[in-house]
A = this chain, B = another copy of it.
């Protein structure tokens, strides 16, 4: 016995269409009538049925948000920001988790397609062509990967990786390991590309270890290989892997940063919580969530015109990176980007 628009119409002595317009087209109805209708609706506790509305208007006022792994600390701030931003625009958010599986990803997009006005696809593992294909079923905004012809929000991790490598080289490291992320990740390729270039430019050697699952275990698993290879510094695909690596190194008696420097990526909450505090590349995840929602909601051609939003990253220097064997006189290692607090707040 939920109260419908008809109940409100009856109780306020007007036609349903007038009630409808009182809500969705106020300028078409007499102000007096409208306030009366709204009062009655309020009293009856009327809430429009969005399914019915969706049926006729074709717009659900829902959006989908698909991530690889909710439990990965990179995503919650993004989800939180996207959800809250969407809600402020009267949209609700379906959240789904693919468990890093491209198949599940596709399935989820298809399953959600008819139920949402668009989908935020975060860090997809599918191929570009698959994504393009799906974008014909439902509007898509891709996060953390540029897909030709589709609106996307990416972090400039090329720059981030370059900053990280330059930082390590400046500290005196010449043999750097890149702890790679998952296969299929654009971010991973981008980091690899930029890090390789930066290392070559700076005259350092960079070795890639991977691909690996983007988890602590993935990082830990490469600890031996990296130590054995004689690298004195590591750039990890993300904070989680950096943490796993540091732990495994520590377990093997290798001290960070004394013997090996480790730099993470993402600046998740985790990076300030572990010891040594993690030097890492900060990515503006909350801003990315909001930007993606904005792109999705400004429908039509606009979406094409602002097709790619690139957000800046920055290096946050903490305690997990220290002097390397080739250290020359130079700036103190604490110099560089502003201290944590400032960096973190100013990024917003």
Which of A's residues lie within 8 Å of B, judged by CB?
A: 2, 45, 47-52, 54-55, 60, 62, 69-71, 73, 75-77, 79-80, 83-84, 87, 92-97, 99, 110-115, 137, 216, 243, 247, 269-270, 273-275
Contacts and interface: CB of A to CB of B under 8 A. Distances in A.
Contact of A83 (B52, B80, B95, B114): B95
A80 B97 contact: yes
A81 to B, nearest CB: 9
Contacts of A60: 51
Contacts of A75: 76
Given A47-B114, A114-B50, A274-B275, A84 B97 contact: yes
Nearest to A115: B50
Contacts of A51: 50-52, 54-55, 60, 114-115
Contacts of A52: 51, 55
Contacts of A113: 47
Contacts of A115: 50-51, 62, 92
A24 to B, nearest CB: 16
Contacts of A270: 270, 273
Contacts of A71: 76-77, 80, 269
A342 B54 CA distance: 49
